[in-house]
């Protein structure tokens, strides 16, 4: 996957699929989405401090992507809550970043 297609995938996930909680997301897609979202949040840091809108936008998109990733892993969707509990979130990250899903 080249940079242009990764950016296009991220942009579609941030705009068109932001409220899409159905379907599945592969590990590579999730990692790409996560990294691009982190870069976007860093680049919009001054705006995040003032308005909080980019953070909220990325947060909803990340929630949607995480739900789709857990569906790919055949894990219950409520595992998404693990990502919001400080120490337990490492298990959620392990599942999302390192465990192969159905398609891999």
CA–CA gap between residue 104 and residue 51 (Å, rounded): 39
- For residue 103, the model assigns a pLDDT of 74
pTM: 0.80
**pLDDT, one tens digit for every residue, the chain (104 residues):** 788 999 999 999 999 999 999 989 999 999 999 999 999 888 888 887 788 888 888 889 999 999 999 999 998 988 888 778 878 888 888 988 998 888 75
pLDDT at residue 65, as a whole number: 92
Checking 25-29 for CB contacts under 8 A at 24+ apart, the result is 25/65, 25/68, 25/69, 25/71, 25/72, 26/72, 26/101, 26/103, 26/104, 27/69, 27/72, 27/96, 27/97, 27/98, 27/99, 27/100, 27/101, 27/104, 28/1
């Amino acid at each position: 996957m080249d940079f242009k297609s990764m950016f296009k995938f991220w942009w579609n996930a941030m705009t068109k699929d932001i409220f899409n909680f159905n379907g599945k997301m592969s590990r590579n897609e999730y990692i790409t989405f996560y990294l691009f979202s982190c870069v976007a949040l860093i680049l919009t840091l001054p705006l995040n401090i003032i308005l909080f809108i980019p953070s909220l936008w990325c947060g909803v998109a990340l929630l949607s992507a995480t739900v789709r990733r857990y569906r790919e892993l055949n894990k219950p969707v409520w595992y998404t809550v693990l990502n919001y509990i400080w120490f337990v979130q490492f298990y959620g990250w392990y599942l999302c970043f390192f465990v192969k899903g159905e398609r891999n």
